[in-house]
Amino acid sequence: MVDESNLKYWHDAGHVARRTLEAMREEITVGKSWDEVIQSAERFIRRNGGNPAFPVTIAVDDLAAHYTTDHASIAPEGWDREMVFENGDLVKLDVGVHINGHIGDNALTIEVGNKGNHTDQIKAAKEARDSAIEMLHPGTPWHKVGAAAAQPSIDAGFQPIRNLCGHQLKPWQLHSGVSVPSYACGADNPGFKGVVEEGSVYAIEPFNTSGESGMIHNIGARNSSNIYRVTSKGLWRKALSRKQIKPLGAQLARNLEERYSTLPFAERWAFPMLEKPFPEADEASRQSKWNALVKKLISIRFLETYHALGCKDGGMIGQFEHTVMVNSGGPEILTVE
C-alpha cells in the first residue's frame, strides 16, 4: 500500500518523467545521436528536481529495451551503422525519474522523419497501454489485464511481446513483486496469479512486434545494456572481511551503493570513479581495471547487470508506458504533465 504521506513524491516523480519524455520527443530528429538524446534527457531530469530512476534507454527498430550508451559509445552487438537517427527509424525512448526513491516510469515510440511506415504499429502500441490501464480496478485478475493489452495489437496485425512484462513499483524498487502481463496469458498461468491491488503502483508497458514469434531475446554479453544494479546493500563489507575483495573494490562498491542505492545505474555514470585512484592510467588500462572490478563485484553477488534486448525474429518493436496508481475508484495515471 502507498504511504499517503509520500503521495507528493509519487506525483512529482511522475510529473517530471512525463515532462522529460515529451521534451525529448522533439530532440529525436534525423542526424541526432542516441547518446545526445540520452544525456539531454538525464540533464533535463536533474534540472527539474528529479534523479534518473534508471539510465535513460533508447531502442531503435528491432531493438526492444535495456540499452543505454556507455562512456565509449560502443554500439549494441549486431548494430551495423552509426548510433544516429535516420529517417524512418522506429525509436523507443524509456525514461524513469525518482524523487526520494519514488518512481515515475514512462516510455513512448516515435518514427523519425515523415515516412509514415510505422503509424499503425505506433497507434496499436499506445492503444494497448491504454486498454490495459482501463482494466486497473481493484480486484481485476491479471490475466484480464493482459488480454486487454494484447487485443489492440492483434487487431492491427501485430503480435504482443509475451516475455516482457510491466511491473509493480515500490520506493527504491523498480521491479517489485508483481509482473503485469501484456498478452492473453490465461487464467491458469502460474506467473500471473492474483489481482490488481488497491493502493499499489504499477508500470504498464506493453510491447508489440511486426515479427511472428512475439518474443524477445538477449543480445550480446550479459552486460550489453551498460546498466548495473546493486543487489544487496552492505554485502561489500562482508566480502572485504572475508578477503573476497580488495580495499579498492570495497571503496568502489561503497560509492556505488551510496550514489544509487538499489536502483539501476549506467556504466558511463560510474566509470569516472576510476579517475581518482588511477590518475595516470590510459583508457585501455582504466577499462581493464573497470572490467576486473565489476567482474569481482558480480562474482560476490553485489552487482547484477542486464542484457540488451531485441526481437527474436527481427521484427520491429513498439512500446508505450505509463505509471499508474490504483485507487478505490480505479486507475490514476501518474506520468502526466
- pLDDT reading at 2 higher than 90: no
Q: Which residue has the cell 504499477?
A: 202
List Cβ neighbours of 116 (8 Å cut-off, separation of 6 or more).
none
Run of H or E including 88: none
Checking DSSP bridges between strand 179-180 and strand 166-169, what pairing results, if any?
antiparallel
pTM: 0.95
Cell of 213: 514469434
Nearest by Cα to 228 from 285, 167, 291: 291
Using CA atoms, how far apart are residues 258 and 224, in angstroms rounded to an integer? 24
Q: How far is CA 242 from CA 24, 234, 237, 252, in A?
A: 47, 13, 9, 17
| The Cα angle at residue 93 between residues 92 and 98, in degrees rounded to 5 | 145
Give the tens place of pLDDT for each residue, 130-154: 999 999 999 999 999 999 999 999 9
pLDDT confidence bin for 177, thresholds 50/70/90: confident
**Residue 319, H or E segment:** strand 317-319
Q: Output the pLDDT for position 332.
A: 98
What mean pLDDT do residues 21-44 have?
Answer: 97
Q: Note the pLDDT tens digit of each residue in 301-328.
A: 999 999 999 999 999 999 999 999 999 9
Which pLDDT band holds residue 4 (cuts at 50, 70, 90)?
confident
Residue 114: predicted pLDDT: 83
Number of H helices, E strands in the chain: 8, 18
Query: Could you tell me the residue ranges of all domains in the chain?
Result: 4-224+308-333, 227-305
| CATH class of this structure's domain 4-224+308-333 | alpha beta
248-305 tens-digit pLDDT: 999 999 999 999 999 999 999 999 999 999 999 999 999 999 999 999 999 999 999 9
Share of the chain above pLDDT 90, in %: 95
Q: Per the structure block, which three cell numbers stand in for 138?
A: 481493484
